[in-house]
Amino acid sequence: MDRITLGNDEFEGRNNAYVLADENSETPKSRDDKLALVDTGLATEGIRAELREGLAERGYAFSDVDDIVLTHFHVDHAGLAGEIQSESGATVYAHEADAPLVEQEPDAVAALEERRREYLDRWGVPDDAQESLLEFLERAAHLEGEPAEVTPIEDGEVLEVGGRTLEAVHAPGHAAGLCCFEVETGGRSDAFVGDAVLPVYTPNVGGADARVDRPLEKYLTTLRRLADREYDRLWPGHRDPIDDPRDRALEIVDHHRERSEEVLGILEEHGPANAWEVSAHLFGDLEGIHIVHGPGEAFAHLDYLRREGTLSVSEERYRLGE
Residue-wise pLDDT for 64-109, tens only, equals 999 999 999 999 999 999 999 999 999 999 999 999 999 999 999 9
The tens digit of pLDDT for each residue in 144-169 reads: 899 999 999 999 999 999 999 999 99
Please name every residue paired with 20 in a beta bridge, in sequence order, or none if there are none.
36
- Report the candidate in 67, 55, 1, 54 with the shortest Cα–Cα distance to residue 28: 55
The tens digit of pLDDT for each residue in 273-313 reads: 999 999 999 999 999 999 999 999 999 999 999 999 999 99
The tens digit of pLDDT for each residue in 2-41 reads: 999 997 655 556 899 999 997 544 555 554 579 999 999 9
Residue 180, number of CB atoms within 10 A of its CB: 26
Mean pLDDT of 170-194: 94
Task: Tell me what pLDDT residue 188 has.
Answer: 87
Architecture of domain 2-320: 4-Layer Sandwich (3.60)
The size of the chain, in residues, is 322
Cis peptide before 28 (omega within 30 of 0): yes
Task: Tell me what pLDDT residue 31 has.
Answer: 47
Confidence of residue 139 (pLDDT cuts 50, 70, 90): confident
Mean pLDDT of 235-251: 96
Amino acid at the residue 160: E
User: Domain locations in the chain?
Assistant: 2-320
Task: Tell me what pLDDT residue 13 has.
Answer: 63
Pick from 2-6, 32-36, 126-130, 217-221: least confident: 32-36
Task: Tell me what pLDDT residue 23 has.
Answer: 57
> At 6, phi and psi to the nearest 5?
-115, 145
